[in-house]
């Protein structure tokens, strides 16, 4: 059963769509994950990337990442209207760093402890915000998580203050 039946992307769905960077590239440092497996007319990520790492032949094709050009800057995370792009960094020790879009209140801040949510919205752990910046009302937040959660965490919940 795939994401079209469950509404939840799996690693297998990503691999089947050719959207996963190679393991070698994942080990090198931050890299974008384009979790956009539907052929829809959208190509904002292509023009957003300052390194021309994202491409499409036609506007309704799946976006393709040139993993050698991607530096994991996160600009595409802020620009994606579908909130479907993330940056992962699994190159550092026993922690992973997930950069994700955030459009809720309260505003995120560096050092804040957050609940980590998976693609189903279930809490899978706790993490710490290590970086947060805003672009046109979308926050781009990087959280430090346990390394084994790098593919699971796709949202955060900031507890009220």
Q: What's the pLDDT tens digit per position in 14-23? A: 999 999 999 9
Q: 7 pLDDT band (50/70/90 cuts)?
A: confident
- The mean per-residue pLDDT over the stretch 76-81 comes to 96
Separation of alpha carbons 155 and 148, rounded Å: 16
Handedness of CA 118, 120, 124, 129 (dihedral sign): positive
Is 143:128 a contact under the CB 8 Å cutoff?
A: yes
Taking 80 as the threshold, does the pLDDT of residue 156 lie above it? yes
Separation of alpha carbons 91 and 108, rounded Å: 24
- The mean per-residue pLDDT over the stretch 52-67 comes to 96
Is 138:75 a contact under the CB 8 Å cutoff?
A: no
Taking 60 as the threshold, does the pLDDT of residue 50 lie above it? yes
Is 51:70 a contact under the CB 8 Å cutoff?
A: yes
Separation of alpha carbons 121 and 108, rounded Å: 18
- The mean per-residue pLDDT over the stretch 18-36 comes to 96
Give me the residue label for tokens 């919205």: 121
Separation of alpha carbons 101 and 122, rounded Å: 17
Taking 90 as the threshold, does the pLDDT of residue 157 lie above it? yes
The CA-based angle 99-113-107, given to 5 degrees, is 65
Please state, in angstroms and as integers, the Cα–Cα distance from residue 92 to each residue in 28, 57, 65, 66, following that order: 9, 34, 22, 22
Q: What is the pLDDT of residue 136?
A: 87
64: containing domain: 3-158
Q: What is the pLDDT of residue 3?
A: 87
- The mean per-residue pLDDT over the stretch 102-128 comes to 96
Taking 70 as the threshold, does the pLDDT of residue 66 lie above it? yes
Give me the residue label for tokens 């309260």: 106
Q: What is the pLDDT of residue 161?
A: 57
Number of structural domains found in the chain: 1
Backbone φ and ψ for 100, nearest 5 degrees, come out as: -140, 160
Predicted TM-score of the model (pTM): 0.94
């Amino acid at each position: 059963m795939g994401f079209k039946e469950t509404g939840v992307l799996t690693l297998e769905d990503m691999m089947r769509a050719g959207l996963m960077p190679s393991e070698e590239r994942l080990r090198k440092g931050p890299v974008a994950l384009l979790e956009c497996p539907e052929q829809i007319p959208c190509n904002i990520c292509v023009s957003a990337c300052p390194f021309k790492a994202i491409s499409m032949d036609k506007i309704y094709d799946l976006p393709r990442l040139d993993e050698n050009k991607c530096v994991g800057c996160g600009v595409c995370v802020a620009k994606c209207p579908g909130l479907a792009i993330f940056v992962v960094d699994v190159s550092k020790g026993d922690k992973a760093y997930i950069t994700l879009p955030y459009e809720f209140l309260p505003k995120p801040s560096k050092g804040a402890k957050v609940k980590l949510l998976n693609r189903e919205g279930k809490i899978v752990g706790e993490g710490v915000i290590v970086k947060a910046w805003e672009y046109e009302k979308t926050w781009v937040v990087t959280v430090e998580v346990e390394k084994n959660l790098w593919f699971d965490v796709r949202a955060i919940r900031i507890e009220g203050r």
